[in-house]
């Protein structure tokens, strides 16, 4: 066995040292990235200007590399600067230290308010960071840290890169970096110390100077002077002495039905809490040298009142609760609810209405009953009586989501005509507080596709929002909507026009719900006119037919009373007084157009112009100038015609879909043309009735004059005469105009089948309203709510005059108009709009909070007021604002007073620190030394102490080149950090 194992022991493994290791591959990848980013060589920039770290533009480039299977991200951070002239670059570069080393001594940008932590600690304008790619990964062991640092050092040496290269070690939250910067014959090591507990000897300047000097280890006996920059930051959190000026809504008064802190129709605005949580005062001593001041564990010369520079920043409350933001957000949440109104409130009130009449015979008799609906006295109590009666049947009054007082207040706000005994004549109610209709604010509804700010729809949206937030939430919304729908039916049945709606057809620029309400108003107008005509006709019949028969009376009337004849002809078809809703419903059940048209004809006559010339003219409006009929020379009369049917956008879309489905065949095209010519046929019939014996040419001369071409010709006698004929398109065989003319019968407009069946359309609208879920309703009205919120924001901004907010509002309007113009906008986009509104509200609330704290309104001197207003404006828009005059300026004195008051509150709350007024007075009038100590106590202990120590000393030997040295220190309550950059000469050491 031993003999067999001997050959095996002679076999050994051959290691190929020419193969690159993982470490070498990593270094190569770092070098490759530096080369790709062209960070090779020395590129000197201009000296840094003051404040450029905050005002300038920072950019970064990233790449990913790996060490074995551990991934690192490499990021290049740099300040964008104008390219400098390359003159003098050919000089001897050995004498030029890298740009980063020069920046260590630059004092123009100490303590930048907003910058990368390495920029704040070292004052660098350009650097590269290598950090673990995953947030959870960390380089924890010392050996791995040293390995990475040596990799960086080799990569910098191989490439000649003079940009500082940092490696992030330990957990990312600790922000620990080590790094290196290399130049020709020089090197800077970036080191860091991070502790939780601070050693006592390092809490003051003298202890930190000892660290700095020992680290430098300068062998020179008079040590070169150390330049010192110090900043102490004081935090003010207690605003109790300055109440938050926002008046919260009186919820109890609102729930009780009183209109107190918030009126219906007026949006709430402002933050419920102070949107400014803290004020940070930074007192800075920018240029000090060792020996000028004393700061040790026993005594300190660093009095914040005496600091030459004061700067202030405010810390904003994270997502402060804002009234307007909540107002819109809570309403938007309804859009995601699935319940119907019936599910929210219980059994349907509309079912109760149907159950009142159980017997089918009663239902049929009700349908065929021609008696008009009695018109009740118009008042709030009468309007909601029907709705209340039905709700009480299955729900007690105390269980109703809205009590009577609140409900009546809302209904009176929505329907102001209910307060008067007589209904208003106009259909639109205009509030004096609303902007004029020509103004940009008023016309916002065109962009948002909402509704005018004085319309019923707009007011309804605001009321539903108010109820959702303060009066029972979703149940209250469902209750009000149910009352609103019942009110709409009440107005339809009793011929009361809906207030707050512009007259005329539906405005397609508004939301669909607004169009539906306008459509219902059109129906009420038609029905009201028809019912009034019926009453007038009945009274006329009673008066005129007293001596004899109505038909005979109509025959005895002359041509001067044609208008009366039209109304009194009882024997010809369906006269005006024979129309009723129930009869119309049965009449519409017939489907054949020809049969319908003939239904009103006397004996179903259909003949040529000669037969029609014997008919009596009906439905004349006025004579058409001097035009006469071509064949009998009678004057041509313009007939009374039916108005075209108003359409909402969903009906237009439905009609276009039906027409599109007919296809492109000849039959489909013919049918489509016939469907679209209903209005033309009605006008032809009215024209024939008004002008017996007329021809198509006569109709065309009135209806479409361009299609009747007249030419001057010479007749047989040599006289110049006008001869006219139809246009080429009218002469096409079997064209739609000719077919319609042949089909048309002489029927006046009042006896034609209605182009606009107001009964059917009104019922369709009422059904549409009744089946809307609260979520559907919220979707319809959300544009109105956003519109109202934008108007409120603009109104509040105009009081504060904040330029940055003006820009945001313009962007918000532009964004909202794009989103809301599309049907069914995405929830995410709607949330963005609401978030923008809340942000603007918070900015305005912050401005008001700062103005209240700095007392801009209480300033008597105009100059001081302007200074403070400018200061407050800068606080809102800039990360940090310099206080002009430090502690002796206008703003400085106010800030000092704020801290003094806060300190007094703190002292008075501490029993041990409490003192009698006499003792306090004695202290105030004591020795100068005591008064000085008291002034120091005006401020709390600093929340943060920052120091920067700089010097230029030769390292490591006395004959080495003098190079910049820098150490930054920050001390807070729970954190102590030292960040040092120590340069050494690598040529003469």
Q: Check pLDDT > 60 for residue 918.
A: no
Range scoring the smallest mean pLDDT among 530-544, 577-591, 882-896, 898-912: 577-591
For residues 451 and 664, the model is more confident at 451
Q: Check pLDDT > 70 for residue 253.
A: no
Instruction: Please give the Cα distance from 274 to 246 (Å, whole number).
Output: 8
For residues 458 and 473, the model is more confident at 458
Q: Which residue has the tokens 């080369």?
A: 35
Q: Check pLDDT > 70 for residue 728.
A: yes
For residues 411 and 398, the model is more confident at 411
Task: Kindly state the average pLDDT of the residues 461-471.
Answer: 85
Q: pLDDT category, 496, cuts 50, 70, 90?
A: confident
Q: Whole-number mean pLDDT of the chain?
A: 76
Q: What is the C-alpha radius of gyration for the chain, rounded to an integer number of angstroms?
A: 44
Residues in the chain: 989
Map residue 287 onto helix, strand or coil: strand
436, 715, 747, 758 from 584: Cα distances, Å: 42, 54, 17, 10
HEC string of 38-81 equals CCCECCCCCCCCCCHHHHCCEEEEEEEEEECCEEEEEEEEEECC
- Of all residues in the chain, what percent are helix, strand and coil, respectively (each to 5)? 50, 15, 35
Half-sphere exposure of 256 (CA within 13 A, CB side): 9
Half-sphere exposure of 814 (CA within 13 A, CB side): 6
pLDDT of amino acid 945: 93
pLDDT of amino acid 18: 67
Given a contact cutoff of 8 angstroms between Cβ atoms, the answer to whether 831 and 332 are in contact is: yes
For residues 294 and 19, the model is more confident at 294
Q: Check pLDDT > 50 for residue 318.
A: yes
Name the residue among 527, 406, 418, 523 with its Cα closest to residue 472.
406
Kind plus residue range of the DSSP H or E element containing 898: helix 890-909
Q: How many CB atoms lie within 10 A of CB 584?
A: 17
Map residue 438 onto helix, strand or coil: coil
Q: Check pLDDT > 80 for residue 25.
A: yes
For residues 642 and 947, the model is more confident at 947
pLDDT of amino acid 984: 92
Share of the chain above pLDDT 90, in %: 14
Q: pLDDT category, 901, cuts 50, 70, 90?
A: confident
Q: Check pLDDT > 60 for residue 2.
A: no
Q: Check pLDDT > 50 for residue 851.
A: yes
Given a contact cutoff of 8 angstroms between Cβ atoms, the answer to whether 506 and 791 are in contact is: no
Q: pLDDT category, 94, cuts 50, 70, 90?
A: low
Q: How many helices (DSSP H) and strands (DSSP E) are in the chain?
A: 37, 17
pLDDT of amino acid 263: 65
The tokens describing 676, both together, are 């679209």
DSSP string, 630-694: TTT-PEEEEEP-PPPPP--HHHHHHHHHHHHHT-SSHHHHHHHHHHHTHHHHHHHHHHHHHSTT-
Q: Check pLDDT > 90 for residue 191.
A: yes
Q: pLDDT category, 197, cuts 50, 70, 90?
A: confident
Instruction: Please give the Cα distance from 782 to 315 (Å, whole number).
Output: 33
Among 335-349, 495-509, 575-589, the range with the most confident prediction by mean pLDDT is 495-509
Q: pLDDT category, 718, cuts 50, 70, 90?
A: low
Q: What are the pLDDT digits (tens) for 805-815? A: 888 888 888 88
Instruction: Please give the Cα distance from 28 to 20 (Å, whole number).
Output: 10
For residues 348 and 148, the model is more confident at 148
pLDDT of amino acid 653: 78
pLDDT of amino acid 563: 34
Q: Check pLDDT > 70 for residue 841.
A: yes
CB-count burial class (<10 Å; 0-12, 13-18, 19+) for 628: middle
pLDDT of amino acid 540: 52
pLDDT of amino acid 428: 43
Q: Check pLDDT > 80 for residue 894.
A: yes
Instruction: Please give the Cα distance from 761 to 765 (Å, whole number).
Output: 6
Q: Check pLDDT > 50 for residue 397.
A: no
Given a contact cutoff of 8 angstroms between Cβ atoms, the answer to whether 662 and 600 are in contact is: no
Q: Residue 957: which residues within 8 A CB-CB, separation 6 or more? A: 219, 985, 988, 989
Q: Residue 628: which residues within 8 A CB-CB, separation 6 or more? A: 634, 635, 636
Instruction: Please give the Cα distance from 300 to 207 (Å, whole number).
Output: 13
For residues 171 and 581, the model is more confident at 171
Q: pLDDT category, 241, cuts 50, 70, 90?
A: low
Q: Which residue has the tokens 């207040």?
A: 409
Range scoring the smallest mean pLDDT among 91-95, 407-411, 494-498, 884-888: 91-95
For residues 536 and 455, the model is more confident at 455
Q: Check pLDDT > 80 for residue 738.
A: yes
Kind plus residue range of the DSSP H or E element containing 741: helix 736-743
pLDDT of amino acid 302: 86
pLDDT of amino acid 950: 93
Q: What are the pLDDT digits (tens) for 473-482? A: 888 888 888 8
Q: Which residue has the tokens 């119907």?
A: 340
Task: Kindly state the average pLDDT of the residues 535-559.
Answer: 42
pLDDT of amino acid 618: 81
Task: Kindly state the average pLDDT of the residues 365-370.
Answer: 49
Residue 117 phi/psi, 5° resolution?
-60, -35
For residues 575 and 409, the model is more confident at 409
Task: Kindly state the average pLDDT of the residues 698-705.
Answer: 87
The tokens describing 801, both together, are 């005059």
Q: Check pLDDT > 60 for residue 280.
A: yes
Q: Check pLDDT > 50 for residue 373.
A: no
Given a contact cutoff of 8 angstroms between Cβ atoms, the answer to whether 633 and 646 are in contact is: no
Q: pLDDT category, 573, cuts 50, 70, 90?
A: very low
Map residue 279 onto helix, strand or coil: strand
Task: Kindly state the average pLDDT of the residues 932-950.
Answer: 77
Instruction: Please give the Cα distance from 609 to 592 (Å, whole number).
Output: 25
Q: pLDDT category, 646, cuts 50, 70, 90?
A: confident
Q: pLDDT category, 982, cuts 50, 70, 90?
A: very high
Q: Check pLDDT > 70 for residue 958.
A: yes
Share of the chain above pLDDT 70, in %: 73
Given a contact cutoff of 8 angstroms between Cβ atoms, the answer to whether 64 and 73 are in contact is: yes
Q: pLDDT category, 590, cuts 50, 70, 90?
A: very low
Q: Check pLDDT > 70 for residue 451.
A: yes
Cis-peptide into 872, omega within 30 deg: no
Task: Kindly state the average pLDDT of the residues 113-123.
Answer: 91
Task: Kindly state the average pLDDT of the residues 406-412.
Answer: 83
pLDDT of amino acid 913: 42
DSSP strands (E only) in 529-639: 620-628, 635-639
Instruction: Please give the Cα distance from 807 to 801 (Å, whole number).
Output: 11
For residues 752 and 586, the model is more confident at 752
Q: pLDDT category, 578, cuts 50, 70, 90?
A: very low
């Amino acid at each position: 066995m031993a003999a067999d194992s001997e050959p095996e022991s002679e076999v050994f493994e051959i290691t190929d040292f020419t193969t690159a290791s993982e470490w070498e591959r990593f270094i190569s990848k770092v070098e490759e990235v530096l080369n790709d980013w062209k960070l090779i060589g020395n590129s000197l920039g201009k000296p840094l200007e003051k404040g450029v770290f905050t005002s300038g533009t920072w950019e970064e480039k990233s790449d990913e590399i790996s060490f074995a299977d551990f991934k690192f991200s490499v990021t290049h951070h740099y300040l964008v600067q104008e390219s400098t002239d390359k003159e003098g670059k050919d000089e001897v570069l050995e004498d030029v230290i890298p740009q980063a080393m020069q920046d260590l001594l630059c004092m123009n940008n100490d303590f930048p308010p907003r910058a990368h932590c390495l920029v704040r600690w070292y004052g660098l304008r350009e650097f590269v960071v290598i950090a673990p790619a995953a947030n959870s990964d960390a380089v924890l062991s010392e050996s791995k840290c040293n390995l990475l640092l040596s990799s960086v050092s080799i990569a910098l040496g191989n490439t000649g890169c003079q940009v500082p290269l940092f490696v992030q070690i330990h957990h990312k939250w600790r922000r620990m970096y080590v790094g290196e910067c290399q130049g020709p014959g020089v090197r800077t090591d970036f080191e860091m110390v991070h502790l939780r507990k601070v050693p006592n000897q390092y809490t003051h300047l003298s202890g930190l100077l000892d660290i700095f000097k020992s680290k430098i280890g300068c062998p020179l006996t008079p040590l070169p002077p150390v330049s010192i920059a110090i900043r102490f930051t004081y935090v003010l959190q207690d605003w109790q002495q300055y109440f938050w000026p926002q008046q919260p809504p009186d919820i109890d008064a609102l729930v009780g039905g009183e209109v107190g802190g918030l009126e219906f129709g007026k949006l709430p605005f402002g933050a419920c809490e102070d949107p400014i949580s803290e004020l940070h005062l930074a007192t800075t001593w920018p240029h000090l040298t060792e020996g000028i001041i004393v700061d040790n564990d026993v005594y300190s010369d660093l009095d914040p009142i005496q600091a030459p520079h004061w700067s202030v920043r405010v810390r904003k409350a994270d997502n402060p609760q804002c009234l307007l933001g909540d107002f819109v957000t809570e309403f938007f949440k309804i859009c995601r609810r699935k319940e119907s109104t019936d599910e929210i409130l219980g059994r349907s009130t509309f079912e109760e209405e149907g159950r009142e009449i159980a017997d089918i015979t009663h239902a049929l008799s009700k349908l065929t009953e021609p008696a008009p609906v009695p018109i009740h006295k118009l008042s709030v109590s009468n309007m909601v009586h029907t709705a209340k009666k039905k709700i009480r049947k299955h729900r007690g009054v105390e269980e109703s989501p809205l009590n009577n007082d609140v409900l009546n207040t809302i209904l009176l706000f929505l329907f102001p005509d209910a307060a008067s005994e007589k209904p208003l004549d106009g259909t639109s109610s205009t509030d004096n507080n609303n902007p004029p209709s020509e103004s940009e604010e008023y016309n916002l509804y065109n962009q948002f596709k909402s509704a005018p700010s004085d319309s019923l729809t707009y007011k309804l949206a605001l009321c539903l929002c108010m109820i959702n937030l303060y009066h029972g939430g979703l149940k209250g919304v469902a209750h009000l909507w149910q009352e609103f729908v019942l009110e709409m039916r009440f107005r339809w049945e009793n011929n009361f026009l809906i207030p707050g709606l512009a007259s005329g057809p539906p405005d397609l620029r508004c939301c669909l719900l607004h169009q539906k309400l306008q459509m219902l108003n059109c129906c009420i107008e038609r029905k009201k006119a028809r019912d009034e005509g019926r009453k007038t006709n009945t009274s006329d019949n009673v008066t005129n037919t007293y001596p004899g028969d109505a038909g005979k009376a109509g025959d005895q009337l002359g041509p001067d009373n044609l208008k009366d004849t039209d109304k009194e002809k009882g024997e010809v078809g369906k006269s005006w007084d024979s129309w009723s809703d129930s009869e119309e419903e049965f009449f519409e059940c017939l489907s054949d157009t020809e049969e319908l048209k003939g239904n009103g004809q006397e004996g179903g006559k259909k003949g040529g112009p000669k037969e029609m010339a014997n008919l009596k003219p009906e439905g004349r409006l006025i004579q058409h100038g001097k035009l006469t009929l071509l064949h009998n020379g009678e004057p041509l009369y313009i007939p009374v015609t039916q108005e075209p049917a108003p359409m909402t956008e969903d009906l237009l879309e439905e009609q276009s879909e039906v027409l599109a489905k007919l296809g492109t065949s000849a039959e489909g095209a013919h049918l489509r043309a016939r469907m679209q010519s209903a209005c033309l046929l009605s006008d032809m019939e009215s024209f024939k009735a008004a002008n017996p014996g007329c021809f198509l040419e006569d109709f065309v001369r009135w209806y479409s004059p361009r299609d009747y071409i007249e030419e001057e010709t010479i007749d047989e006698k040599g006289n110049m005469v006008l001869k006219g004929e139809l246009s080429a398109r009218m002469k096409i065989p079997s064209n739609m105009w000719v077919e319609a003319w042949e089909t048309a019968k002489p029927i006046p407009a009042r006896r034609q089948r209605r182009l606009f069946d107001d009964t059917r359309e009104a019922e369709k609208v009422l059904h549409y309203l009744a089946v809307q879920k609260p979520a559907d309703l919220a979707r319809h009205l959300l544009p109105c709510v956003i519109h109202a919120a934008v108007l409120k924001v603009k109104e509040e901004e105009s009081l504060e005059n904040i330029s940055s907010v003006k820009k945001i509002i313009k962007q918000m309007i532009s964004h909202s108009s794009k989103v809301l113009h599309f049907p069914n906008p995405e929830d995410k986009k709607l949330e963005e709009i609401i978030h923008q509104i809340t942000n603007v509200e918070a900015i305005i609330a912050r401005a008001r909070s700062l103005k209240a704290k700095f007392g801009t309104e209480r300033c008597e001197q105009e100059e001081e007021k302007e200074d403070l207003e400018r200061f407050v404006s800068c606080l809102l828009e800039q990360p940090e604002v310099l206080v002009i005059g430090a502690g002796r300026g206008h703003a400085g004195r106010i800030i000092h007073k704020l801290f003094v008051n806060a300190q007094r509150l703190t002292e008075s709350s501490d029993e041990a620190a409490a003192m009698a007024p006499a003792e306090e007075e004695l202290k105030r009038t004591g020795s100068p030394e005591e008064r000085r100590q008291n002034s120091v106590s005006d401020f709390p202990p600093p929340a943060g102490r920052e120091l920067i120590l700089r010097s230029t000393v030769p390292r490591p030997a006395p004959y080495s080149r003098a190079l910049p040295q820098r150490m930054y220190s920050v001390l807070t309550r729970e954190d102590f950090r030292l960040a040092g950059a120590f340069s050494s000469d690598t040529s003469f050491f």
